């Protein structure tokens, strides 16, 4: 099976090239780094310069914008969006239809609720329940 590419023109008129990720068949920019063990749903996108680390999941309709990082075992939920240069920490969950703004940070193990908006440049922290879920708090 050969590598197939899909090309899109962005808002600035620049032609961007994407390939289908082996695990899930989602569209990943040729300049993004996605670990082979990460899952990218066929309807999801990972934009140029973004990074999706080991064991992470980008669910149906999820979008990881340019330069963003989705750390190990993190989940970007259904139709959720991670803004430019934002960071989603290890084992964090961005709920369905939630948005993480440009350059925002979601801490390790945090759970962003459904439809919640993490404002640009802000930080969203993990609660005690989030940490207990992973066995990290008493």
Q: Does residue 88 lie within any of the structural domains?
A: yes
How many residues are there in the chain? Answer: 138
Q: What is the pLDDT of residues 26-53, one digit of tens each?
A: 999 999 999 999 999 999 999 999 999 9
User: Going by C-beta distance under 8 Å and a sequence separation of 6 or more, which residues neighbour residue 70?
Assistant: 38, 50, 51, 52, 53, 56, 58, 64, 76, 82, 88
Q: Beta 27-29 vs 15-20: how paired, if at all? A: antiparallel
Q: Does residue 67 lie within any of the structural domains?
A: yes
Q: What is the pLDDT of residues 80-96, one digit of tens each?
A: 999 999 999 999 999 99
Q: Does residue 53 lie within any of the structural domains?
A: yes
Angstrom distance (rounded) from CA 122 to CA 105: 6
User: What pTM does this model have?
Assistant: 0.90
Domain count, the chain: 1
């Amino acid at each position: 099976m050969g590598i197939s590419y899909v090309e899109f023109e962005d808002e600035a008129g620049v032609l961007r090239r994407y390939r289908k990720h082996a695990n899930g068949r989602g569209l990943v920019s040729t300049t993004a780094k996605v670990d082979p063990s990460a899952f990218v749903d066929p309807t999801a996108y990972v934009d140029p310069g973004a990074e999706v680390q080991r064991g992470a999941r980008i669910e149906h309709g999820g979008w990881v914008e340019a330069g963003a990082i989705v750390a190990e075992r993190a989940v970007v939920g259904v139709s959720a969006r991670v803004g430019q240069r934002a960071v989603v920490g290890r084992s964090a969950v961005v709920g369905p239809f939630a948005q993480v703004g440009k350059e925002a940070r979601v801490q390790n193990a945090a759970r962003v609720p459904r439809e919640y908006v993490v404002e640009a440049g802000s930080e969203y922290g993990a609660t005690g329940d989030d940490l207990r879920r992973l066995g990290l708090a008493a």
